[in-house]
Each structure stands twice: as structure tokens, then as C-alpha cells.
A = this chain, B = another copy of it.
Amino acid sequence: RAINKVLFFPSEVTCVEHFFSPLSTHSCLCPLPHGVETSFSRLLHYILSASSSLNVCVFSFSEVNLSRALLLLHSRGITIRVLTDRDYSAINGTQIGVLRKAGICVRCDRTSVHMHHKFAVVDEQLLITGSLNWTQTAVQRNKENILITEDPELVQPFVKEFQRLWLNNNPT
């Protein structure tokens, strides 16, 4: 049965360490609530479900746990491509430098207009899209939405648009 979900934010702030260190699930001593499903933990879950590729196209990317998720997928051999906006890749707290240093392919839209998308495509078949930038403010404070779907009529246009934008922003 195809995934078709909507998540609303802000998300309650809870511990997400179990996504990154499965062995320590039952032993985390941090002060955040544990074992609670939230919009943000569901978002992490779907991103971490990638088994072959992850294409990310987001205006701004500064949220640390989303960055950790990409680093974890990268370490598993998942092909990751990140397209972001030039103006926002330069701001304080951006994770773009961290991703680049780890060897993840990142391209910045260098045009004068905003690359204002906030979507990701997992394994070319699961679309994650909405109003949410990949920032802590968006996740923890703003009123935001994310729609998650496997409907090919919705996913395929985004797969194609990512490819088009990726090629248009070839740095070479």
C-alpha cells in the first residue's frame, strides 16, 4: 500500500539519537523525551529509509539532525545529491560545508533568483515536499507542512525537475 501522508510542524522536540546510534536506544541519558513519535522523527524515518539514492533540493539547510541523517546514508553508500540556494548556503549555521567535507555532492543555484524549493526524493519513488526548510526554526517553531507520497503522478515530475535543475547548475 502506497505511502500518502501529511506532517504538520512545529514538531515537539524529542530525542532522535536512536536513529544514529541504534545500540544506545535504551540507554540515552539526555534530558529530552524518549520513545515519542513526532512529525520530525517521522521525517527522519522517511529520509533514512533510502536504500539507493536521495536527492535533496532545499532553499536552506542548517538543521543538524537532518545533516547527520545524510552523513549516515552517505556512509552506507547511498548516492546523495544536494541542491541549495547560493545565498542561503553562505549563512551562519548552514550544514552545506559539513556535507561537502564528507564528500557529498552539493550544488548551489548561482542565479539571482531564489531556488525556493523544499523537497527531497528518496530512491526516485518517495517524495517529501512542503513549506518546511531544513532549519531548526522551521522544525521546532514555525507552522509548516510536509507531504510524503509515493504516488507516481506526483513523484515523477519532481524526479525530472530535480534532474533538470541539477544539470542546469553544473559547476563545471
Contacts and interface: CB of A to CB of B under 8 A. Distances in A.
A51 B161 CA distance: 32
Interface stretch (A73-81, A100-108, A138-146): A138-146
A113 B147 contact: no
Contacts of A149: 154
B143 A113 contact: yes
Contact of A4 (B6, B10, B153): B153
A8 B117 CA distance: 10
13 contacts: A4-B153, A113-B141, A113-B143, A114-B141, A115-B142, A115-B143, A116-B131, A116-B143, A117-B143, A117-B145, A129-B131, A145-B158, A147-B147
A4 B154 contact: yes
B129 A116 contact: no
Contacts of A165: 143
A151 B4 contact: yes
A59 to B, nearest CB: 8
Interface string A47-78: 00000000000010000000000000000000
Most buried by B among A115, A132, A153, A158: A153
A114 B137 CA distance: 9
Nearest to A116: B142
B144 A117 contact: yes
